[in-house]
Structure 1
C-alpha cells in the first residue's frame, strides 16, 4: 500500500522545530562548517579553479571542445539528481539515518574530488575529469538534501532565518579562504610552498587533493555535534522502486492540500536558476565584455563572495522578522535593477559597483528560499520536501543558460545575454508574488 500522508491544512511551522529547544551554539557552528567545507567543491573545483583554469583549457582539446564535453556530463548529472534527490530524502526521513547518509555522500564527494588528481593534462583524460566532476555534483546535491533537512533539527520558527543565513555565509567565506590558499600557495608561485611545480598539471591536480581534505575536515563537526534523526516507527520499510510510487502520492497530496507549496517549488526553481546563472556567467561577462584579466576575476570573485556572505548573514534577521517571502521579493527586485545597470552601463567601474550589488542580493535570495521551504515542510518529511526542492531546481536548470545564449545570438553581443538572466529572474518573481507566505516567528 502507498503511504497516503495527509499534509497539514495550515502551513504551520514543523512542530519538531517549533516546540523543541533550538540547537546549541556548538551544533549551529558545526552545521555551518559543512557549508564551509563544501565550498571547496563548489568554488574551487567547479567554478573558479579546476574546471575553469585546467579542465577546460588547451591541454584537453581546447576550450570549446572541453567545455562542450563538461556541459554534456553535467547535463547527465542534472538528470540523475532530478531522479534521485527526492527519493533519497524520502528514504532517510523514513529510516532516521539522515546524518549517516549525509556523511556517506559527503565522503563520496571527497573521494571523487581527490580522484581528480589522476586527471593528467591530456585530451585522453578529459572524459575522466568530466565524469568525476559530474558524479561529484550528483552526490553533493543528495548530501545537500539531508543537510538542508537537518536545519529544522537545530532551529525554531524564531531562528531558522538567522541560522540558514549563517550557513550560506559560511559557505561563501569558506570559498574565499580556500580560493586564496590554492591561488597563492599552489597556482601563482613558480614553485608552490610545498615544492609543487606546474609541470604535468601538478599544481591543479594538487588542488584536487587539497579540496578533498578540506571537504572531509569540515564535515567532521556536524557528524559529531548533531544527533541522528529519529525514524518514524509507523512507516514500514519500502523498496527503492516503491519509493517512487510514494513520491507520486506525495506530489498528488501536495497539489490537493498544499497547492501553494507546489507553486513555491515552481517559482523558486525558476528564480534559483537565475541566481545560479549570475555566478556561472559573471566571470565570463567580466572578461568578455568588461575587459577583466585573470587576476581581476579572482579578486572580484573574492569580493563578491564577501558581499554575498554579508548579505546572506544580515538577511537572516530580516527573514525571521518579516518572513522569507519579503526577503526574496526584495532581493529579486534588487537583482533586476542592478542587473539592468550592468547591461546598459559600460566600463570596469560600473561592473564592480553593480556587480557587487548583484552579489549582495544573491545571498539573501538563496538563504530565504531555503527557509521558505523549511517553514513549509511537514514534520517527518523534511528530507522528501527538500528532495523535491532540489529536483525542481534541476528540472529547469537549462533555462537561464539557454536564454543567455539565445539573447547573444539575437542581439549579436555577449553583454546582451544578461537579458536572458533578467527574464528568468522576473519570471520567478512574478510566479512567487501570488504564493501564500508561510508563517514566521518574530524574534524576541
Structure 2
C-alpha cells in the first residue's frame, strides 16, 4: 500500500450526472426489501414463530445460521474483493451477486409453516445474507464513480436515505398487500402464503430497482484489468502487507478499523434480530412489527440527519460514541423491564409499551452510528486511497460478523429465554465502545471540501 503521503490529482473529476447518481441510489432503494422485509421485520420473524417450533430453538438456529454465513464471508471476502478490483468488473460481480440474492428471495416461497422447513428457511436467509454482503462491496465501491471528493458525503447520504425510504414503502406494501390485505385483494391466508408471497415480492422489488444500475452502470469510463486475480493465500498475504504498512504510518486507523468492526456487528444484529425479539419476547403480532418498522425507519432517518449536522461541530467520533451509549441505554431498558407489566405513575406499562419506547429510542441512534462511522473513515483515508481504506473497512467488518449472532444464541441457551440474547448484542456494542474510546478524533483532511 502506498504511503498516506500520496496526494490526490490536482484536477478534480467532473461532477457525475444526476441520472447516474439516481441509478446508483435506486439499488439501495431496491435492496431495502431484502433488509427490512426478509432479514429484519417479516420473513425471519415468521421463521421464529410457533409455526416452526419453540421460539428459543428457532431463534438459536437462526443465530447459528447467520454466524456461519459471517464466517464464510470472512474467509472468501479477500479473494472475491481483490478479484473484482483486479478485473475492474464491479458491475458484473454486482449483477451476479444481486441476481443470486433475488433468486434466493424467490425461493423463500417454497418454505411452508412446518418445523421440517425451518432449516430450509434459515439456509435461504443465511445464503442470501452472504451474497447480499458480497454485492454491497461492489455497490459501495461504485460511490467513487458517482461522486467527487466534494460530493461523496452528500451522494452517500442520498443513497442511505433512499434505503430508509424504500424500506418504508416496501413495508407498507407488504402490510396492506399481504399480511393484512386491503381493498379486497385475494391473498390466501392458509399455509403461510402471506409470508411466502412477501418473499416473492422482495425478490421482484429488488430486481426492478437494481436493473437501472446493472444495465446502465454509473457512466464511468471502463478501465482495463490491472492484474490477474490473486489466489486465496496470496490474497491474505496482500491484506497482511497492507495492514502492516498502515500500522507503520497510522496506527489509529488500524485501531478504528478494529473498533468499528466490532460495534458494526452489533448494529447489524439489531437489524437482523430486532423483529424476532419483538414477536418472541414482547408479544407483537406480525402486523404490529411492520407498523413498528415503518415508525423505526422514520426515526432512524431523522437521527441520521440530526447526527450529521452535529458531526460538523462535534466530530464523528463523539457522534459514534454518543450513539453507542444511547443504544446501550435502550438495551438496558429492554432487559430491565422485559415482557412484564409494570405500574408507572399510576399507569399500566405493558410489554408492548416497553418495546415501543425503548425500540424507537434505539432506532434514533442506529443511523448516526452508521453514517458517522463511515464519515470517520473518509476523514482518515489518504487522498487517492479512499477505496482501499473502505475495502479494509469491509474486510475487517466481515472478519467479526459472527460475534453478535453467536453471543445472541449463546445467551439464549444460557439464560433459557429469548430476551437474554439482548445481553450478547449489548456486550458487542459495549466492546466496540471501549475499543473506540482511546482513539483520537480525526482531523479534517487538508484536501477535504466542505459543502
> TM-score w.r.t. structure 1 length?
0.84
Q: From the superposition, tell whether residues 219 and 317 of structure 1 become closer, same or farther in structure 2 (CA, over 3 Å).
A: farther
Partners of 2:141 and 2:379 lie apart in 1 by 11
Gaps of 5+ in 1: none
Partners of 2:49 and 2:354 lie apart in 1 by 29
Matched, 1:426 2:430: yes
- Displacement after TM superposition at 1:378 (Å): 5.5
- Displacement after TM superposition at 1:359 (Å): 0.7
Residue 211 of structure 2 corresponds to which residue in structure 1?
220
Kindly provide the CA deviation profile for residues 238-259 of structure 1, in whole angstroms up to 9, marking residues without a partner as x.
3433333322322222223332
* Aligned counterparts, 1:167-182, within 5 A: 167-182=159-174
- Displacement after TM superposition at 1:197 (Å): 0.7
User: The residue matched to 2:261 in structure 1 has which SS?
Assistant: helix
* Aligned counterparts, 1:321-400, within 5 A: 323-344=315-336, 347=349, 348-349=352-353, 351-377=355-381, 385-400=389-404
Q: From the superposition, tell whether residues 22 and 192 of structure 1 become closer, same or farther in structure 2 (CA, over 3 Å).
A: farther
Please tell me whether the aligned partners of residues 119 and 128 of structure 1 are also in contact (alpha carbons under 8 angstroms).
Answer: yes
Q: From the superposition, tell whether residues 168 and 49 of structure 1 become closer, same or farther in structure 2 (CA, over 3 Å).
A: same
Partners of 2:118 and 2:275 lie apart in 1 by 22
Residue 237 of structure 1 corresponds to which residue in structure 2?
228
> TM-score w.r.t. structure 2 length?
0.83
Kindly provide the CA deviation profile for residues 18-72 of structure 1, in whole angstroms up to 9, marking residues without a partner as x.
932443433333222211111111111122222211x334454554444444333
Matched, 1:45 2:34: no
Please tell me whether the aligned partners of residues 39 and 171 of structure 1 are also in contact (alpha carbons under 8 angstroms).
Answer: yes
Partners of 1:136 and 1:91 lie apart in 2 by 21
Partners of 1:156 and 1:210 lie apart in 2 by 35
* Aligned counterparts, 1:45-444, within 5 A: 45-53=38-46, 55-189=47-181, 193=185, 195-223=186-214, 224=216, 226-228=218-220, 231=223, 235-241=226-232, 242-287=234-279, 290=282, 292-319=284-311, 323-344=315-336, 347=349, 348-349=352-353, 351-377=355-381, 385-401=389-405, 403=407, 418-436=422-440, 437=442, 439=444, 441=448, 443-444=450-451
User: The residue matched to 1:253 in structure 2 has which SS?
Assistant: helix
Q: From the superposition, tell whether residues 116 and 292 of structure 1 become closer, same or farther in structure 2 (CA, over 3 Å).
A: closer
How many pairs were matched up? 434
Please tell me whether the aligned partners of residues 149 and 374 of structure 1 are also in contact (alpha carbons under 8 angstroms).
Answer: no
Gaps of 5+ in 2: 343-348
Partners of 2:309 and 2:10 lie apart in 1 by 18
Kindly provide the CA deviation profile for residues 182-222 of structure 1, in whole angstroms up to 9, marking residues without a partner as x.
121112239972x3313333332222221111111111233
CA RMSD of aligned residues (A): 3.4
- Displacement after TM superposition at 1:269 (Å): 1.2
Q: From the superposition, tell whether residues 23 and 426 of structure 1 become closer, same or farther in structure 2 (CA, over 3 Å).
A: farther
Kindly provide the CA deviation profile for residues 142-176 of structure 1, in whole angstroms up to 9, marking residues without a partner as x.
11111112223333444333333332222222112
- Displacement after TM superposition at 1:370 (Å): 2.5
Relative to structure 2, which stretch is displaced further, 330-339 or 210-219? 330-339
User: The residue matched to 2:253 in structure 1 has which SS?
Assistant: helix
Residue 6 of structure 1 corresponds to which residue in structure 2?
2
Partners of 1:422 and 1:83 lie apart in 2 by 26
Kindly provide the CA deviation profile for residues 69-102 of structure 1, in whole angstroms up to 9, marking residues without a partner as x.
4333322211111112233222222222222221
Residue 19 of structure 2 corresponds to which residue in structure 1?
26
Partners of 1:284 and 1:168 lie apart in 2 by 24
